[in-house]
């Protein structure tokens, strides 16, 4: 008997189930589940860890006080990042629905789900264009000499000044087996005034890759090489999602882990370079006086919020394919901390190389530090030209960017496909989900074509700055208010307890109800106060383009009131208040997807007698639960368990 119990416990643990729960099949055969829990964690890590971890966080850290920035950053992680991450994972896992289906919890707020879909659409369009440019640079690195090394190319201008001379680089390539000190001695470094020079990598980026036009309205021609790479990007994404989470769950074993291999290789190479220590000091040296600056706290909160992918709909979607009793509390902590640790780690990789470049140029690190596309496609590639066997390091770097981008893109596309399939819900569309995936990929490709024109970079940055900025903050805030105050925090805490086997820890209960909404409101206010019209280098965007940017931002938010008014008008009731009340009530279909998990007030009555008796039983049970909750607050464990509960390890 004891042996069988032991085997059952082992099976429960392997399936990610809550210890103490009876072992069930727990599979949603109609909709599908992850093959195992590792697939979900790797997919979520790949989703959260994206390009921003490499090209945004290190720069923010450097500009906001170095090591001192880590303090507000981790404070925001604990009080906003992890709680919101846990909230979205538990929300999607409990209902086993995508970002539209979960709003059965309060149908009036389904517009929030549509807003998430709009945001994911915008991000999915331009994000794949960034990936396709990384593909282009990856293919361009398959050469003996990186094309952005010299200034003797047809696209270069008279103001171009390279960091190495042709003779010096040939010597370096001929002596790749020598030590760095010997190789560096043979490189003739052109020390020039940074303000007067145009780097060959910048001219390669502007005049060859983009052939950038002079205005956002001047589209010029479609850049066929970039268009071809965009097609490659979408084909790769489609093939990886051809069987939904069944296929993407296998791909992430590589796409979510190999970037860490590349980061480690680049880190080891970087810290062995001359000047690397100087670069890392710029990255980490604390400037404690900046902690009192509100902008530093605002940047920390914003970076945590955006880097974790909250309010995009992806977290809800990924969690919806979990088994019902999966410990998403543990997963949220693991994934959130992994994401932030990756950001910090990437900073060492970036600034060690930039420190090496600054040393050779004999300039301050601040002169070469950059972020966004400027770091990925100009500053870092130029620094790589100084290394022996530079094409190898370039291949590794851009391959890492491709994998980081694909991990996020998988989830963005799956979010849209899942929402469509769940909303229609017929057997035909579930069987033919691949057709939906292909259709969404084709539409995404066609919408991305304008971004491959000569004005494409202007539109890409416009979408990046407006499509997913303050609208995400508003969506997340309304989601918290809906779940905690419209549906009811007590109900939701009991739902989570029914799913996990233990109630949410008191820390998360307080954060969900009070702390996180306050921080989200702070981020929104900070975003509005700090707003500056977008520019690209010296180019100032015209007013009409900024108006389009605001329309993109508002298009996702306006889904919320428009759908709310529609739902109220369709709800039962003679007065507006009655209709409002009925539209906020949870739908009868709200709850666990599988009948075996629909217990308590979610259970369907089987007879008239049961209908009469159930309310009395539920009332007594609710009173008993309230007393238990009061007791649990006084004997709360560090991991959120209570004295009478079996607690899984977090």
**Tens digit of each residue's pLDDT (9 = 90 or more) over 70-125:** 999 999 999 999 999 999 999 999 999 999 999 999 999 999 999 999 999 999 99
Report which DSSP code applies to 164. B
Q: State residue 95's pLDDT score.
A: 96
3-class secondary-structure state, position 55? helix
Burial of 515 from C-beta contacts in 10 A (0-12 / 13-18 / 19+): middle
Contacts of 173 (CB under 8 A, 6+ apart): 144, 145, 388, 389
Q: State residue 381's pLDDT score.
A: 94
List binding-site positions.
46, 48-49, 53, 307, 339, 404
Q: Summarize pLDDT for 310-321 with one digit per residue, the tens.
A: 999 999 999 999
Q: Summarize pLDDT for 180-190 with one digit per residue, the tens.
A: 333 333 333 33
Q: State residue 438's pLDDT score.
A: 97
Rounded average pLDDT over 589-606: 86
Q: State residue 166's pLDDT score.
A: 66
Q: State residue 627's pLDDT score.
A: 55
Angstrom distance (rounded) from CA 132 to CA 60: 25
Angstrom distance (rounded) from CA 99 to CA 368: 41
Lowest mean pLDDT, pick from 289-293, 311-315, 556-560? 289-293
Q: Where are the alpha helices (DSSP H) in 96-196?
A: 110-140, 166-174, 180-186
Lowest mean pLDDT, pick from 146-155, 195-204, 324-333? 195-204
3-class secondary-structure state, position 242? coil
Buried b (16+ CB within 10 A) or exposed e, 49-84: bbbbbbbbbbbbbbbbbbebbbbbbbbbbebbbbbb
The whole model's pTM is what?
A: 0.85
Lowest mean pLDDT, pick from 129-133, 136-140, 591-595? 591-595
Lowest mean pLDDT, pick from 43-57, 98-112, 146-160, 600-614? 600-614
Q: 243 pLDDT exceeds 60?
A: yes
* C-alpha 284: how far from chain center: 24
Lowest mean pLDDT, pick from 154-168, 324-338, 429-443, 597-611? 597-611
Q: State residue 24's pLDDT score.
A: 52
Handedness of CA 327, 331, 332, 337 (dihedral sign): positive
Report which DSSP code applies to 160. B
Confidence band for 622, pLDDT divided at 50, 70 and 90: low
Q: 140 pLDDT exceeds 90?
A: yes
Element of type H or E holding 535: strand 535-536
Please answer whether residues 169 and 145 qualify as being in contact, where contact means their C-beta atoms are separated by less than 8 angstroms: yes
Q: How many residues does the chain have?
A: 650
Q: What is the rounded average pLDDT for all residues in the chain?
A: 86
- At residue 535, φ and ψ (nearest 5 deg) are -135, 160
Please answer whether residues 58 and 347 qualify as being in contact, where contact means their C-beta atoms are separated by less than 8 angstroms: yes
Confidence band for 428, pLDDT divided at 50, 70 and 90: very high
Q: Summarize pLDDT for 12-37 with one digit per residue, the tens.
A: 444 444 555 445 557 888 888 999 99
Burial of 386 from C-beta contacts in 10 A (0-12 / 13-18 / 19+): buried
3-class secondary-structure state, position 498? helix
* C-alpha 351: how far from chain center: 23
Q: State residue 27's pLDDT score.
A: 80
CATH number of 37-152+199-584: 1.10.4160
Q: Which of 279, 214, 247, 233 is nearest to 134 (CA)?
A: 233
Rounded average pLDDT over 422-449: 95
Q: State residue 631's pLDDT score.
A: 46
Q: State residue 184's pLDDT score.
A: 34
Angstrom distance (rounded) from CA 281 to CA 279: 5
List binding-site positions for Na(+).
46, 48-49, 53, 307, 339, 404
């Amino acid at each position: 008997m004891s042996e069988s119990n032991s085997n059952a416990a082992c099976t429960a643990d392997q399936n990610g189930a809550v210890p103490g729960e009876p072992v069930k099949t727990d599979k949603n055969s109609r909709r599908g589940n992850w093959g195992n829990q590792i697939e979900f964690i790797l997919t979520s890590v790949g989703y959260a860890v994206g390009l921003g971890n490499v090209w945004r966080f290190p720069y923010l850290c450097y500009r906001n006080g170095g090591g001192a920035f880590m303090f507000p950053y981790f404070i925001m992680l604990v009080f906003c990042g992890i709680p919101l991450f846990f909230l979205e994972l538990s929300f999607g896992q409990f209902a086993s629905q995508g970002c539209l289906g979960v709003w059965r919890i309060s149908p009036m707020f389904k517009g929030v789900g549509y807003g998430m879909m709009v945001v994911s659409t915008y991000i999915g369009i331009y994000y794949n264009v960034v990936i396709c440019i990384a593909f282009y640079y990856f293919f361009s690195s398959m050469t003996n000499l990186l094309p952005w090394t010299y200034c003797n190319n047809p696209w270069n201008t008279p103001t171009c000044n390279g960091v190495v001379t042709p003779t010096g680089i040939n010597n370096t390539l001929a002596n790749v087996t020598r030590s760095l000190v010997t190789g560096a001695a043979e490189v003739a470094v052109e020390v020039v005034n940074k303000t007067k020079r145009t780097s060959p990598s910048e001219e390669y980026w502007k005049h060859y890759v983009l052939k950038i036009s002079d205005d956002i309205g001047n589209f010029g021609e479609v850049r066929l090489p970039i268009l071809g790479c965009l097609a490659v990007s979408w084909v790769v994404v489609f093939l990886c999602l051809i069987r939904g989470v069944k296929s993407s769950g296998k791909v992430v074993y590589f796409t979510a882990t190999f970037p860490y291999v590349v980061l480690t290789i680049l880190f080891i190479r970087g810290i062995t370079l001359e000047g690397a220590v100087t670069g890392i000091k710029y990255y980490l040296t604390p400037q404690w006086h900046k902690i009192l600056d509100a902008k530093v706290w605002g940047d920390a909160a914003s970076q945590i919020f955006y880097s974790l992918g909250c309010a995009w709909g992806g977290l809800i979607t990924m969690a919806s394919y979990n088994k019902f009793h999966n410990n998403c509390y543990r997963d949220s902590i693991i994934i959130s901390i992994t994401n932030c640790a990756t950001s910090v780690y990437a900073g060492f990789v970036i600034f060690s190389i930039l420190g090496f470049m600054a040393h050779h140029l004999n300039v301050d690190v601040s002169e070469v530090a950059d972020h966004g596309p400027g770091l990925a496609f100009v500053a870092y590639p130029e620094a790589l030209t100084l290394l022996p066997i530079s094409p190898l390091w370039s291949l590794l770097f851009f391959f890492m960017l491709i994998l980081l981008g694909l991990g996020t893109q998988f989830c963005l596309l799956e979010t849209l496909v899942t929402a469509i399939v769940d909303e229609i819900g017929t057997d035909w569309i579930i069987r033919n989900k691949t057709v939906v995936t292909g259709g969404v990929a084709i539409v995404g490709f066609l919408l991305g074509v304008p971004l491959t024109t000569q004005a494409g970079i202007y539109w890409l940055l416009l979408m990046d700055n407006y499509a997913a900025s303050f609208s995400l903050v508003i969506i997340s805030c309304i989601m918290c208010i809906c779940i905690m105050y419209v549906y009811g925090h007590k109900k939701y805490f009991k739902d989570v307890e029914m799913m996990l086997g233990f109630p949410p820890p008191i820390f998360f209960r307080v954060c969900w109800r009070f702390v996180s909404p306050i921080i989200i409101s702070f981020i929104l206010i900070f975003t509005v106060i700090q707003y500056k019209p977008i520019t690209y280098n010296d180019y100032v965007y015209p007013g009409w383009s900024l108006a389009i940017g605001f329309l993109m931002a508002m298009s996702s938010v306006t889904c919320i009131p428009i759908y709310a008014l529609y739902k109220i008008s369709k709800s039962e009731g003679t007065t507006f208040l009655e209709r409002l009340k009925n539209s906020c009530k949870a739908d009868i279909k709200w709850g666990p997807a599988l009948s075996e998990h629909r217990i308590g007030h979610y259970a369907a009555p089987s007879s008239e007698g049961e209908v009469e008796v159930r309310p009395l039983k539920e009332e007594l049970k609710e009173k008993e639960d309230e007393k238990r909750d009061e007791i649990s607050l006084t004997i709360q464990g560090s991991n959120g368990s209570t004295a009478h509960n079996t607690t899984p390890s977090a």
